[in-house]
Amino acid sequence: MATTGEYIDLHELAKGWKAAIARATDPATKHEAQIRNDRGNLPLHSATSFRAPIEVAESLLQAYPEAASITNNYGNLPLHFTAWKKGPLEVERVFESNGTTEEMEEVLALLLDIYEGHPHALYSAGINPENAGTMDSMMEEEAQLIEDALCPPDDTVEIALSKLVGLEAVKNQIRGMRRTMELVKSAQNGKVAHPSHIVLEGNPGVGKKSVATVLADVLYEIGVVKTQNFMSVGRDELIDRKSEARTIQKTRKVLERAKGGVLLLNESYTLLPSTARPRGRDHGGAALREIARTLSTGNPLIILTGSALELQRILSSEIGFKTHFLTRIEFADPSPSQVARIFMGKMSEKGLVPGDGVTVDYLAELISTNTDEDWRLERNGRIADLLLNGVRAELRKRFLFNDESSKVSFSPIKMMSPGASSRMPAATPDEIFVTVEDVQNAIVNGM
């Protein structure tokens, strides 16, 4: 029988922090998996609501197997949350193996019966009968109620994370960091300790800069940094080829402008000495030493990016970085399917509409069969940008009726405004469709 009324740390830990595993498996604390909060949620409800990793869900289930079939105050099972929140598929399968799928279907079938006989009665469950009528619409209606109750619609962090394709492990780690910092802040009466600086490890094009912007929002929201000041710099913004003294001054100015916020140091390994650069003009070491001097203050908070091997050269050096970068986030290379999804998103942002046959599956197969793995690993998500540029060039050719137009740099949407060309159609179409032929030609001609 689940205990009620006491709100415990395990509910917070279950929202993505893997330390919950240790607490749920410790004989001295595993009983906490049975305690409900004021909304009747068990730690397992919290874990699934915040899309915690499968290891967390499994440990909570092992601590309290009955949790899979226990509803909260609103009649929701943990499985409802993992379905509505689009949590890891593995977690949903864990619940299916515990037999809760049939229970959810029975509940929804009962609601449909009520809708057919006494639709007004659905108001008591918080469901608008005018928006009901099918099982899917029922789930959407109730899912919105849960979404409003558990995740505020103005949660900028979750909104930003939802826009990232793939990277589920990275997203969960960010959620875990967020919950951990919230717990520390709560335990210290609103004070946040100086955190370690952060390392984002991964190959080019895997989304490190996009994730860094989300992290900056998290750090500001929790109060780790005082302002929303976010700067992204590389070697060119820090180095002055003329002298080491000028490089130091240039680096200091960057650090000063970034104070109070987050400084993203892109591909920081390029600041290390290289035989490819002329002796006496390679002042990257001076910039690194200047940055190292500020690390103990935490102002600005530094995020380093690069591949694991390249970053290790900096962190293992004598410059003074290693002990200050204790948080590392590793990025996996995107699959062709994920690259295709990124491309579809970018295409939509440009106002382009996929035509018949232009689907994620088709694009993924096209990318796989027309590129080799080594080429993809060097570019990863940037393949979507290359493909988009190629498609836009094909559209310019198609609308301007000659290949020379592909050399002109402007958007096909701008190009279709009245008076742009005497050869343009008399009526501007509402939508610009991207055809299978456009994509095929883009890969052949542009990639």
Domain shared by 138 and 268, yes or no: no
Which parts of the chain have pLDDT scores under 70? 1-19, 50-51, 74, 79-153, 190-195, 279-280, 401-430, 446-447
Residue 375: Cβ within 10 Å count? 11
User: What CATH number is given to the structural domain containing 59?
Assistant: 1.25.40.20
Which CA distances in Å does 48 have to 1, 76, 337?
21, 12, 25
DSSP H or E stretch at residue 163 = none
Return d(Cα 48, Cα 87) in angstroms, integer: 7
Q: Which domain holds residue 273?
A: 156-330
Token pair in block for residue 68: 């899979």
Q: How far is CA 390 from CA 339, 394, 421, 437, in A?
A: 15, 6, 22, 12
Residue 2 forms part of a structural domain:
no
What are the C-alpha distances in Å from 168 to residues 82, 146, 182, 336?
A: 14, 22, 21, 16
Instruction: Say if 409 falls within a structural domain.
Output: yes
Cα–Cα distance measured from residue 88 to residue 317, given in angstroms and rounded to the nearest whole number: 38
Q: Residue 66's pLDDT is what? A: 86
**pLDDT score of 102:** 52
Quick one: pLDDT at residue 419?
Answer: 38
CATH of the domain at 237: 3.40.50.300
What pLDDT digit, counting tens, does each position of 196-237 carry? 899 999 988 898 998 999 889 888 887 888 999 999 999 999
pLDDT the model gives residue 163: 77
- 183, 311: one domain: yes
Q: Is residue 302 part of a domain?
A: yes
Nearest alpha carbon to residue 233 among 281, 280, 271? 271
Same-domain check for residues 378 and 392: yes
The structure's pTM equals 0.59
Are 275 and 346 found together in one domain? Answer: no
347 & 237 share domain: no
Q: Which of 264, 212, 258 is nearest to 234 (CA)?
A: 264
Which of 330, 351, 375 delimits the end of a domain? 330
- 103 is written with which tokens? 């229970």
- Decide if 196 is inside a domain: yes
pLDDT in tens, 26-46: 888 888 888 888 778 888 877
Q: What per-residue confidence (pLDDT) applies to 383?
A: 93
Q: Do 169 and 282 belong together in one domain?
A: yes
Residues 18, 45, single domain; the answer is yes
Q: Can you give the pLDDT at residue 280?
A: 66
* Alpha-carbon distances of 385 from 194, 365, 368, 380, 447, rounded to whole Å: 38, 17, 16, 10, 10
Tell me the C-alpha to C-alpha distance, in Å, between residue 100 and each of 68, 112, 341: 7, 19, 31
Q: What is the pLDDT of residue 39?
A: 74
Whether 3 maps to a domain, the answer reads no
Domain boundary among 283, 313, 330: 330
In this structure, are 346 and 306 located in the same domain? Answer: no
Instruction: Please say which residue of 101, 122, 150 terminates a domain.
Output: 150
Report pLDDT for 120.
57
187 and 301 in a single domain? The answer is yes
Tokens of 174: 């960010």
Q: 167 in a domain, yes or no?
A: yes
Residues 162 and 291 in one domain: yes
96 and 178 together in one domain: no
The pLDDT assigned to 14 comes to 47
Question: Do 224 and 196 reside in the same domain of the chain?
Answer: yes
Q: How far apart are the first and last CA of the chain?
A: 61
Element housing 199 (H / E): strand 198-201
Residue 414 lies in a domain: yes
Q: Looking at residue 116, what is its pLDDT?
A: 67
Q: How many domains does the chain have?
A: 3
